[in-house]
Amino acid sequence: MRICHLSDLHFGHHDRRLADGLAADVTAQNPDLVIVSGDFTQVGTEVEFQAARAFLDSLSTPVFTVPGNHDVPAKNLLKRFIDPYGLYRRYIADDLEPLLDLGEVVVVGIRTSRRLRAELNWAHGSISKGQLRRLDQRLAATTPNALRIVVAHHPLMQPDGDVLKPMRLVRRADRALETFARLGVRLVLSGHFHLSYVRRHEVGAVREGAPHGLREAGAAPILVAQASSTISTRLRGDTNAYNLIDIAAGRIAVTVREWRGEGWLTRETSSAVSDPAVANAEVVAGVR
């Protein structure tokens, strides 16, 4: 199975050149599913959501989405408090926490964005205890032994090393990862940081990953894959990029497709064991 993972499109603050050719490049990769991990818009206006909808309609592949913090109205505070996801539901998807059971693979979304928080920065994300309890119940009804994927907007692990702009992880990230491990989740996809990197998580131990690119990604119970901003001009030291994820024969391979001025090119690929029985086996990583 091949998944195309996009994030942080930020229509309204996007590069038109990238946006115009993105659908064609995604289609050329022949994915079975496109996942967008939030921030379709910049300030959550109707015009921005209309542009995002037009882009989604140009894809020939089923799309799985979760909202981001920028998909809650930033300027219309009345709408933000009364109906924060009204435009998202109208133009993107009615379900804020979708679940897709494809038999061999199960994908479930967790909404990490909030209409407000008890702090000045409302962009920060959170996962509630109730969401984790419901996740347990929802996954219990899915295909047994399927590879389980969680999609969230806010990251659950930091990159390894210094970053241009330090960012905060989603609230209860550690508890969420422990829950994911217990529930057999093998892959977590998110965005928000505008950085491409892969890390791995084990209960009680965190092994090194790769802050930019995937050269040192590894095998563990959970692989955490971050996508850079795909088409936004709001970059934080990384290029515009998206991830291609191939799942086959007990392995998860993550390939970065980045924009290099005139087109989308493959940067590098990392492969990790996804079968829990051999989760600590050798990891093969290389540049293509």
* Residue 3: pLDDT band with limits 50, 70, 90: very high
* Residue 64: pLDDT band with limits 50, 70, 90: very high
Determine the average pLDDT of the residues in 81-91. 90
**How far is residue 84's CA from residue 71's CA, in Å, rounded to a whole number?**
8
Please count the other Cβ atoms lying within 10 Å of the Cβ belonging to residue 197: 27
- Predicted confidence at residue 194, as pLDDT, reads 78
- pLDDT for 210 beyond 50: no
For the segment 12-35, what is each residue's pLDDT rounded down to a tens digit?
999 998 998 999 999 999 999 999
Determine the average pLDDT of the residues in 226-242. 88
Question: Of 101-105, 180-184, 218-222, which has the strongest mean pLDDT?
Answer: 101-105
Residue bearing tokens 């946006």: 19
- Predicted confidence at residue 75, as pLDDT, reads 74
* Residue 213: pLDDT band with limits 50, 70, 90: very low
Whether 40 and 68 have beta carbons less than 8 Å apart is answered as yes
* Residue 58: pLDDT band with limits 50, 70, 90: very high
Structure tokens, 156: 């659950």
Residues in a beta bridge with 63: 34
For the segment 92-147, what is each residue's pLDDT rounded down to a tens digit?
999 999 999 999 999 999 999 875 555 555 567 788 899 999 999 999 999 998 99
Q: What is the 3-state secondary structure (H, E, C) of 215-229?
A: CCCCCCCEEEEECCC
Q: How much is the mean pLDDT over the chain? A: 82
Determine the average pLDDT of the residues in 160-186. 77
**How far is residue 219's CA from residue 202's CA, in Å, rounded to a whole number?**
10
- pLDDT for 217 beyond 50: no
- Could you give the domains of the chain? 2-286 (3.60.21.10)
**How far is residue 162's CA from residue 175's CA, in Å, rounded to a whole number?**
24
* Residue 206: pLDDT band with limits 50, 70, 90: very low
* Residue 192: pLDDT band with limits 50, 70, 90: confident
